[in-house]
Amino acid sequence: VFSAMSLEGDVCVVTGACGFLGRRLVRLLLEEEKVAEIRLLDRDVQLQVLQSLEDLKVDLMVCIPQLYWSERSQTDGQALPFRISLFFPLQQVVQQYKTIILPPPGTQLLLEVCIQENVESFIYTSTVEVMGPNPRGEPIVNGTEDTVYNTTLKFSYSKTKKEAEQRTLQANGETLQNGGRLSTCALRPTYIYGDGCRFLLYHMGDGIRNKNTLFRMSLPEAHVNPVYVGNVAFAHLQAARSLKDPQKRDLVGGRFYFLSDDTPPMSYSDFNYVLMSPLGFSIQDKLLLPLSIFYVLCFLLEAICAILRPLVRIVPPVNRQLLTLLNTTFTFSYQKAKKDLGYAPRYSWEEARKRTTEWLASQLPAEREKILSS
């Protein structure tokens, strides 16, 4: 039986707080935990995100390390119930705080500040892509934290996430300025979807341009298991509670956990179709070209882009690594997170699918108008 430790009275820093996952976590913290304060750290403070939390009537501290500014935010002459404070240097963001969640690319800097300012817990949002797939497209079915895999990373995103994850886990147990110990862990979600997911909007837009037919970029048998954003946010909350619990800190600290839920395994393309078929979209039966020819074309396109790079920088829409990612079976179990963190999906597949499709339906008219008028 897992006994959840409360974060009541704590102060949290959430980085990337205006992003897809970050804002879900902020709302969850406000709804379920009586934290003393939450500071939002983001390079791009989006006012509409703050307005979406207005119904909670809670003061939030929003921080951008590059600037220093503090005033009551005004919109159309009406004050929002948020205290907007943008801080520099970074120490002012995290000092006297006990938990940091969702660190950005400057992970090493944040870890150093944690030690200086006696921050006790640090949770890093990693990704399943730090595992692969490798260029050979070797599959993983229902992988666990103990799965041995020949990982070779080519995407810069995967490489930087892997490096940041390693630094986070290595920092576990570091001595703080006050003599305490820093506890860290990393969470590796699979592909995160849900209401607000911009990638789904991109695919829907492509489908609109293609006469309401979604492109097939992955083989039907290349199964992955996406995870709903609400479940990922809840897993972060459980990780924060676990790192605070004296009986759990040593168990969880220094470890990584895969995050998935009960979304059924299917290919990326078929997953998009399941979410968008109620909106009138169909999907191509087969890939536009055999996969081997796709790889050759990607290789040629990458070579041309490399030749032109001294003159102009062109990023190809598809490359071999992305093609491998889309066409490799890569599924993972959340049982370790369930056992150690007390994580279990808050949202069933049926509810997650319903919420996501309803959000896509709400966006469809504007997307269609934008595309057809361009």
Q: Annotated catalytic sites, by residue? A: 157
Q: Residue 313: CB partners within 8 Å, gap ≥ 6?
A: none
Following CA atoms 103, 104, 106, 110 in sequence, which dihedral angle do they give, to the nearest 10 degrees? -20
What are the φ/ψ torsions at residue 184 (nearest 5 degrees)? Answer: -130, 155
Q: DSSP of 46-80, one letter per residue? A: -HHHHHHTGGG----EEE-TT--EEEEEEETTEEE
Give the Cα separation of 336 and 342 in Å (integer).
9
Nearest CA to 229 out of 72, 353, 51, 82 is that of 353
Helix, strand or coil for residue 313? coil
Sheet holding 99-101, edge to edge: 69-75, 78-86, 61-63, 37-41, 11-15, 99-101, 121-125, 183-189, 255-259
CB 214 within 8 A of CB 272: yes
CB 64 within 8 A of CB 87: yes
Chain-centre distance for alpha carbon 322:
18
H or E stretch including 276?
A: helix 268-276
**Strand-pair category, 78-86 with 61-63:** parallel
- Whether cis (ω within 30° of 0) applies to the bond prior to 89 is yes
Amino acid at residue number 5:
M
Give the Cα separation of 197 and 191 in Å (integer).
11
Q: Residue 150: CB partners within 8 Å, gap ≥ 6?
A: 134, 136, 138
Chain-centre distance for alpha carbon 92:
25
